[in-house]
Chain A
Amino acid sequence: MKNNVNISINGFPVEIEKGKTILQAAESHGITIPTLCYHKDLCVAGNCRVCVVEVAGQTRLSAACATPCEEGMEILTNSLKVRNSRKHIIELLLAEHNADCTKCYRNGNCELQKLSSEYKIMTQDFIELAPLKNYSIDMYSPSIIKDDSKCIRCQRCVRTCAELQGVNALTVAYKGDKMKITTFFGKAMRDVVCTNCGQCVNHCPTGALVEKNYIEEVWEAIADPNKHVVVQTAPAVRVGLGEELGLPAGSRVTGQMVAALKRLGFDAVLDTDFTADLTIMEEGTELLTRLKKVLVDKDETVKLPMATSCSPGWIKYIEHMYPEYLDNLSTCKSPQQMFGALAKTYYAKARNIEPENIVSVSIMPCTAKKFEAYRPEMHDSGYRDVDYVLTTRELAILIKQAGLDFNKLEPVKYDRLMGDSTGAGVIFGVTGGVMEAALRTAYELVTGREVPFKNLNIEPVRGMEGVKEASIKIENPLKEWAFLDGVELKCAVAHGLINAKTVMDAVKSGKANYHFIEFMACPGGCLGGGGQPIPTSPEIRKKRAEAIYAEDGALNLRKSHENPEVQKLYKDFLKHPLSDVSHHLLHTSYTKRERF
Chain B
Amino acid sequence: MPIMQAVVEREKYLSEYSMIEIAKQIDIPAAEVYGTATFYSFIETKPTGQFIIRMCKTITCAMKGKNQVLFAIQDMLKIKMGETTPDKKFTLLETNCLGWCHKAPAMMVNDEVYTELTPEKVRDILTGYMKINEQNLN
Q: Which of B19, B31, B32 contacts A192 (CB 8 A)?
A: B31
Q: Are B38 and A173 interface neighbours, CB within 8 A? A: yes
Q: Are A595 and B24 interface neighbours, CB within 8 A? A: yes
Q: Are A175 and B24 interface neighbours, CB within 8 A? A: no
Q: Which residue of A lies closest to B27 (CB)?
A: A595
Contact status of A596 and B23, CB under 8 A, knowing A168-B29, A184-B30? yes
Asked if B16 is at the interface of the complex by the 8 Å CB criterion, the answer is yes
In Å, the complex CA distance between A404 and B98 comes to: 67
Q: Which residue of B lies closest to A194 (CB)?
A: B31
Interface residues in chain B, defined as those with a beta carbon under 8 Å from any beta carbon in chain A: 16, 19-20, 23-24, 29-35, 38-39, 45
Interface of B is mostly: helix
Q: Are B35 and A171 interface neighbours, CB within 8 A? A: yes
Task: Give the bracket for the number of chain A residues in contact with chain B.
Answer: 10 to 19
Instruction: List, in ascending order, chain B residues with CB within 8 A of A171's CB.
Output: 29, 31-32, 34-35
Instruction: List, in ascending order, chain A residues with CB within 8 A of B20's CB.
Output: 596
Q: Which of A167, A173, A183, A185 contacts B16 (CB 8 A)?
A: A185
Q: Which residue of A lies closest to B34 (CB)?
A: A184
In Å, the complex CA distance between A172 and B29 comes to: 13
Extra A-B contacts (7), CB below 8 Å, given A168-B31, A185-B34, A185-B45: A162-B29, A169-B31, A171-B31, A173-B39, A193-B30, A193-B31, A596-B20
Chain A positions 172 through 205: 1 when the CB is less than 8 Å from some CB of chain B, otherwise 0: 1111000000011100000011000000000000
A-B contacts counted at CB < 8 A amount to: 43
Instruction: List, in ascending order, chain B residues with CB within 8 A of A168's CB.
Output: 29, 31-32
Asked if A170 is at the interface of the complex by the 8 Å CB criterion, the answer is yes
Instruction: List, in ascending order, chain B residues with CB within 8 A of A172's CB.
Output: 35
Q: Enumerate 24 A-B pairs (CB-CB under 8 Å) in ascending A order.
A: A168-B32, A169-B31, A170-B31, A171-B29, A171-B35, A172-B35, A173-B35, A173-B38, A173-B39, A174-B38, A175-B38, A183-B31, A184-B33, A185-B16, A185-B19, A185-B34, A185-B45, A192-B30, A192-B31, A193-B30, A193-B31, A595-B24, A596-B29, A596-B30
Instruction: List, in ascending order, chain A residues with CB within 8 A of B39's CB.
Output: 173-175
Chain A positions 560 through 596: 1 when the CB is less than 8 Å from some CB of chain B, otherwise 0: 0000000000000000000000000000000000011
Interface residues in chain A, defined as those with a beta carbon under 8 Å from any beta carbon in chain B: 162, 167-175, 183-185, 192-193, 595-596
Determine how close the nearest CB of chain A comes to the CB of B6; give it in whole angstroms. Answer: 20
Greatest chain A CB density within 10 A among B20, B29, B31 is at: B31
Q: Are A596 and B35 interface neighbours, CB within 8 A? A: no
In Å, the complex CA distance between A539 and B45 comes to: 43
Instruction: List, in ascending order, chain B residues with CB within 8 A of A183's CB.
Output: 31
Determine how close the nearest CB of chain B comes to the CB of A148; give it in whole angstroms. Answer: 15
Determine how close the nearest CB of chain A comes to the CB of B137; give it in whole angstroms. Answer: 33
In Å, the complex CA distance between A170 and B30 comes to: 10
Instruction: List, in ascending order, chain B residues with CB within 8 A of A170's CB.
Output: 31
Q: Which 5 residue pairs spanning A and B have beta carbons closest together? A: A168-B29, A171-B35, A171-B31, A596-B30, A173-B38
Determine how close the nearest CB of chain B comes to the CB of A322; give it in whole angstroms. Answer: 13
Determine how close the nearest CB of chain A comes to the CB of B10; give it in whole angstroms. Answer: 20
In Å, the complex CA distance between A172 and B39 comes to: 9
Determine how close the nearest CB of chain A comes to the CB of B23; give it in whole angstroms. Answer: 6
In Å, the complex CA distance between A168 and B29 comes to: 6
